[in-house]
Amino acid sequence: MPRKSTRLTFAVLATGAGVFSMLQSLIAPALPTVQHALHTSQSTATWVMTAYLLSASVFTPILGRVGDLVGRKRTLVAVLLAVLAGCLLAALAPTVGVLIVARVVQGAGGALFPLSFGIIRDEFAPSQVSRSISNLSAVIAAGGGVGIVAAGPIVSALDYRWLFWIPVAVVAVTTLIALRYVPESPHRAKGSVSWLSAVLLSGWLVALLLPLSQAVRWGWGSARVLGLFAAAVLLFALWLRVEARSRNPLIDLRVMRLPAVWPTNTAALLFGAGMYAIWSFLPAFVQTPRTAGYGFGAGVTASGLLMLPMLLAMFLSGLLGGRLTPVLSARVQLTTGAALGAFACGFLALWHDRQWQIGLVSGVFGLGIGLAFASMANLIVGSVPPAETGAATGMNANIRTIGGSIGAAVTSVLVTGRLQPSGLPEAAGYTHAFALLALLCLGAAGAALLVPSRPAGRPTEPPAERPAPAPVRVR
């Protein structure tokens, strides 16, 4: 039975997931500062981001499944402690090597997303689930925007280490409240963790994401990149074989094939490619000196402010999405969100000479992110059995991350493919990249249309088994 008091539970979940989402983007604008402060190279400094991405990709589905098996509250507290330890280590890191290790530890926080969605499904009344998931998705989406906007002022006013000291304080309080007030899960999956499957899943994810994130520096035709891609294909095939034969699969492939799940995951892959690429390259475009013939020569803080409309729009549209569900289904919201992303990127490819145009694109894309995040989570949660919630939502988040890595890698190739004598990218590189992102978001909208339609507002829980009829007595 859902508990009556859920506000504090939601506050804990939103704070934890929001902090993790913020940590994803908070360090990106400060990488040059970190590089200078820790006396390292640019290529080494990028591992501060890469290590976090790889770690989160591995931990998200695995710990989501662990939560399904051993209890979501217990796993949630353990993950919060890991994030706390990672932030503390990062704040004190004397070298870039220690900072990279700290970011690996922080990556365990990726499991906060599936664990939080599972706890909401367990503890909240059915009438509150859709809205609460939308609200949490809005916080998750906004967390990434807060990181982009807040990084500049924090580094300017304090120091880059405060990018981690502030989360230390917030996560410490959140962990104590979670330990005391978040109830334990009533639903448990049967079986145990398939560690062979976990190793294979980790292997193909790392073998796929590592070359995607490093291909620009290593070279797309290099032996390392091609070898890792080949290893990813082999490990992925082995993982599928092990999962199909396992009595206790880490990710139930039958669930991944459900009519509402696979189109949602496809949309997550394509929309994630557009979203992460915009987060990475729109600030870089804005910061390009005007001498390049485009850009605005903005600093880190000013470029963050131009992203502020995105932050506000995705938070508000995420909150609105849950309230619109009785009228506008999650399928329609996902389609609309992806279409808004396509419109924003298409507009940006054609018009990007004025700052108001950047602000408009930022706001429109933010509306799309808020609707897409909330609807994807609701579609997955509403389509899978309760005991599979953590693994299924964790895999959806992972697929979005994989899409983001692909989008960022391809966009980087287009942007840096042709350089001016000054070393800055040519404007055509950005134009072609934004046009490609528009096509990817349009593809996400097409995938969303393949999600089976349901009557708006009708719960999507799998039907409970009916009790057998009582035997009829014959006198």
210 and 283, same domain (yes or no): no
CA torsion 18-51-397-108 (nearest 10°) is -60
Exposure of 359 in the CB half-sphere (CA atoms within 13 A): 9
225 and 300, same domain (yes or no): no
Q: d(Cα 435, Cα 433) in Å, to the nearest integer?
A: 5
Q: Report CA-CA distances (Å) from 123 to 276, 326, 374, 376, 387.
A: 32, 21, 19, 20, 14
What pLDDT was estimated at residue 385? Answer: 86
Task: Summarize pLDDT for 175-199 with one digit per residue, the tens.
Answer: 999 998 888 877 677 777 788 888 9
130 and 239, same domain (yes or no): no
**Residue 386: which domain range?**
7-193+248-448
Query: Amino acid identity of 279?
Result: W
Lowest mean pLDDT among 45-59, 113-127, 344-358, 447-461: 447-461
379 and 419, same domain (yes or no): yes
Helix (H, G, I), strand (E, B) or coil at 419: strand
Domain count, the chain: 2
Closest Cα partner for 77 from 9, 157, 161? 9
What pLDDT was estimated at residue 181? Answer: 86
81 and 115, same domain (yes or no): yes
Q: Is the pLDDT of residue 117 over 80?
A: yes
- Residue 342 tokens, joined: 């396509």
CA torsion 20-25-26-30 (nearest 10°) is 150
Q: Which residues pair with 419 in a beta bridge?
A: 425
What pLDDT was estimated at residue 89? Answer: 97
Task: Summarize pLDDT for 64-84 with one digit per residue, the tens.
Answer: 888 888 888 999 999 999 999
Does a structural domain hold residue 364? Answer: yes
52 and 130, same domain (yes or no): yes
How much is the pTM? 0.82
Task: Summarize pLDDT for 215-224 with one digit per residue, the tens.
Answer: 878 888 899 9
Task: Summarize pLDDT for 281-321 with one digit per residue, the tens.
Answer: 888 899 899 999 999 988 877 887 888 899 899 888 888 87
Q: Is the pLDDT of residue 228 over 50?
A: yes
More confident site: 348 or 308: 348
Q: d(Cα 295, Cα 288) in Å, to the nearest integer?
A: 5
279 and 174, same domain (yes or no): yes
217 and 328, same domain (yes or no): no
Residue burial 406-434, b: 16+ Cβ < 10 Å; e: rest: bbbbbbbebbeeeeeeeebbbbebbbbbb
What pLDDT was estimated at residue 454? Answer: 62
275 and 327, same domain (yes or no): yes
- Asked whether the beta carbons of 12 and 5 are under 8 A apart, the reply is no
Does a structural domain hold residue 464? Answer: no
Does a structural domain hold residue 471? Answer: no
How does DSSP classify residue 292? Answer: G
SS3 content of the chain, % helix, strand, coil (to 5): 75, 0, 25
Q: Is the pLDDT of residue 472 over 50?
A: no
Q: Report CA-CA distances (Å) from 426 to 273, 347, 350, 418, 422.
A: 22, 19, 15, 6, 10
What pLDDT was estimated at residue 28? Answer: 77
348 and 405, same domain (yes or no): yes
